[in-house]
Amino acid sequence: MRRTARPRRASTTVALLAATMTAALAAGCTAQHSQSDDKRSRGQGQHTPAPHHSVDAAGSVLAVKIDNAPGARPQTGLDSADIVYAEQVEGGLSRLMAVYATTLPKVVGPVRSARESDLELLRQFDEPTLAFSGAQHKLLPLIDQAPLQAEPPGRASKAYFRGTGKAAPHNLFLRPARLMPSAPGPAALTTGFRYGAAPTGGKAAKARTVRYPAAGFTFTWSPGLHRYLVAMDGTPTVTTDGKRVAPATVVVQYVKVHKSAFHDFLGNYTPYTETVGSGRADVLRDGRVYDVNWKRGTAMDGTSFTTKDGKPVNFAKGQVWVVLAQAS
């Protein structure tokens, strides 16, 4: 589904982003990013940031990179997100991106670092606000040139705080209200997702597990809640206030995953997850699974999901989880 783009700053055009990314690819990267997010945040002082513009809350979703290492759990504010993206990172582990449009929780976290793939994923939104703890040194210029509002601690220190219940680096939290005064509303969700009645067909499915090399997600249908109960690495997923995370729709989207231009000091490359293109996906809703096709023509487009005969696929109303899995 093609969305109508709003006017963007001249400094964040597609051409400039592409040129910057090309230069970075040619130069390569030897920055150490597997140390800690504290070091990544300090690295932001080594480049010239883009001018800090005020956030337009009327049309800007809030996207927060959320730590998903075992030491970061339970997370805070995850149940309030409209969309949760799960992606693979170094070592076969997972990280989450929570997108907020209809509700801004008081606190979200733990917050962790951004990845190159995030820039492509976020292009579907109009000037999204990205909250993250830091990034590799050579990725920072790409973030500055991307059509988004970057809000790491170095630029919005009053919005972040260190909690006492977890050890660093799993203790950085965000107060969303200090970045944007109110939630922008559902119209800001320019993803192409459709909500409504379920498609015909499908197969009954009580549970579904998706595995990364060193992480796993299981979604179990609860008829009583009419939601999917999330478990990660075999442990039920709850928030810090004891709420079980339970989306209404789960999408397992099969995508291409390859090495990015960036690696850590040990030479481990960050996976790059391609979300532009086409492929197949499994959509779980109402206790059934549907084998569908997905398509995203350009980075500025949302993603369309269709049945095998080309009919649009509706999601159930409520939170959506999108697990980006390696296509076979």
Domain ranges of the chain: 10-47+58-326
What is the pLDDT, as a whole number, of residue 267? 63
Q: Is the confidence at residue 23, as pLDDT, over 60? A: no
Residue 248 one-letter amino acid: A
What is the pLDDT, as a whole number, of residue 97? 98
Lowest pLDDT segment from 21-35, 88-102, 215-229: 21-35
Q: Who's near 22: CB < 8 A, 6+ residues apart?
A: none
Q: pTM of the entire structure?
A: 0.84
Pick from 68, 54, 63, 50: nearest CA to 12: 50
Q: What does CATH list as the number for 10-47+58-326?
A: 3.50.90.10
Residue 186 one-letter amino acid: P
Q: How far apart are CA 22 and CA 101, in angstroms?
A: 32
Q: Is the confidence at residue 308, as pLDDT, over 60? A: yes
Q: How far apart are CA 129 and CA 127, in angstroms?
A: 7
Between vectors from CA 74 to CA 180 and to CA 246, what angle results, nearest 5°?
Answer: 80
Residues 313-327 have a mean pLDDT of 98
Mean pLDDT of the chain, nearest integer: 85
Cβ neighbour number for residue 277 with a 10 Å cutoff: 13
Token digits of residue 318 = 């409520």
Q: Checking DSSP bridges between strand 314-315 and strand 194-195, what pairing results, if any?
A: parallel
pLDDT band at 137 (very low <50, low <70, confident <90, very high): confident
Q: Is the confidence at residue 56, as pLDDT, over 70? A: no
What is the pLDDT, as a whole number, of residue 265? 59
